[in-house]
Amino acid sequence: MGLPKIAPYRVPRGDELPDNRVDWRPDPKRAVLLVHDMERHFTGVFPPDAEPLSEVVPNIRALAAQARSAGVPVVYCAQPGGQTPEQRGLQLEWWGPGVTDPAQEAIIDELAPEPGDVHLTKWRYSAFQRTELRSMLREWGRDELIITGIYAHIGCLMTAAEAFQQEVRAFLVADGVADFSREEHDMALRYASRRCAVVDTAERFAQALVEPAAA
Residues annotated as catalytic are 37
DSSP 10: P
CB contact at 8 A, 198 and 20: yes
Return all residues near 88 (Cβ < 8 A) that are at least 6 apart: 97, 98
Query: How far apart, in whole angstroms, are the C-alpha atoms of residue 47 and residue 81?
Result: 23
CB contact at 8 A, 122 and 131: yes
Nearest CA among 15, 27, 39, 58 for reference residue 146: 27
Query: How far apart, in whole angstroms, are the C-alpha atoms of residue 139 and residue 136?
Result: 5
CA 101-55-4 angle, 5° bins: 40
Enclosing H/E stretch for 157? helix 157-165
The order of strands in the sheet holding 118-121 is 118-121, 74-78, 31-36, 144-150, 169-178, 197-200
DSSP 156: I
